[in-house]
Amino acid sequence: MNFQTIFNQKLPQVEALAPGRVNLLGEHTDYNDGFVLPTAIPQQTVVQIGLSDDGFYHFYSENLDERVDMVEESFRAGEMQEEYARYIFGCIQVLKEVGYTISPINLYVKSSVPLGSGLSSSAALEVATIRGIRQLFNLPINDVEIAQFAQKAEIQYAHVQCGIMDQMASSLADTEHMLFLDTRTLERRVLPLPEGAKIVVIDSGVPRTLTGSGYNQRRTECTQAAQLLGVKALRDITDVSLVETLPEPLQRRARHVVTENNRVLEALQNVETRHVSSLQRFGELMNASHASLRDDYEVSVPALDILVDILQKTPGVFGARLTGAGFGGATVALVAAGEEKNIAEKVLEQYNHAGYTGNVLVGA
């Protein structure tokens, strides 16, 4: 199947793409106005778009082999069941809400970003969609605005109370650098990866969906914690001892966010100053991040903990943690440059021998 056969058109008028992302440090901090350190991954989502000639919106997912044909009124009435189409139509709606005219389109999507692995397949779809629409209709929006529209679409139409990190990473990051982002001010810096290191990403084989997980609950708990502490967001607390006054589980949730923000800022300082032990320390910070996500934020699962433990005990691995929202998905490790493939194969063999079915996504 291709665009021409699905929509009976000669060729798409535009093609746009956007990468998935992996987050090295700063998990569950973005919706707390905090700090993050993501990087793009090689896998991308590609959309091809042409104008529809029958007044209907037509979407097709090559990965899912699903087609949606509908008018705008049906979407507004809540009749759309296909999840991927909600993201696409949500992007169209948020652009219309600010006054842009978006005529009905045919949109064909295919992606190499794994679904349910915590690598932001949804953000890649949103950013690629808005990039394509920007090109087709010549909209005067920049890459930061694309990320903001994409986040709004996910919150309002996919009903995931996400922060801005995934969309900003998909819109602005590349695979050779880290993107430091202050999610409150959108101040950002492009930084090199720690010298002598590469990234390995391994999917645990345990899929997750944010709408069906405790993701929105964690966000609510953070809001409650911030209110009890009298601050706008947990980002405004830098002294971790201040959270000890909170009741459980808010105390543990807040402790993770405060310490995670501090880990990102320490890593940033070490990389920027080229601290001699920055690579080793970066790995230690990743290990501490996983422990915090597991114990204080409680978003890990046994498969992730086993995979991370194998990684952390493997020679040549500086640090490892779950990446993404948790509740399943993938792990990320910082490893010695040149050893990525060897390490990934060894770790995957041990993990699968333990009864799981993993998959190397980056570093094979």
User: Which residues are known catalytic residues?
Assistant: 166
Distance from CA of residue 298 to its chain's centroid?
Answer: 18
| Distant-in-sequence, close-in-space partners of 60: CB < 8 Å, separation ≥ 6 | 1, 6, 7, 66, 67, 68, 107, 108, 109
Question: Residue 249, preceding bond cis, omega within 30 degrees?
Answer: yes
What residue has token string 């905090």?
34
What does the angle CA 229 – CA 234 – CA 239 come to, to the nearest 5 degrees? Answer: 75
265: number of Cβ within 10 Å: 18
Taking the alpha carbons at both ends of the chain, their separation in whole angstroms is 29
CB atoms within 10 A of CB 332: 30
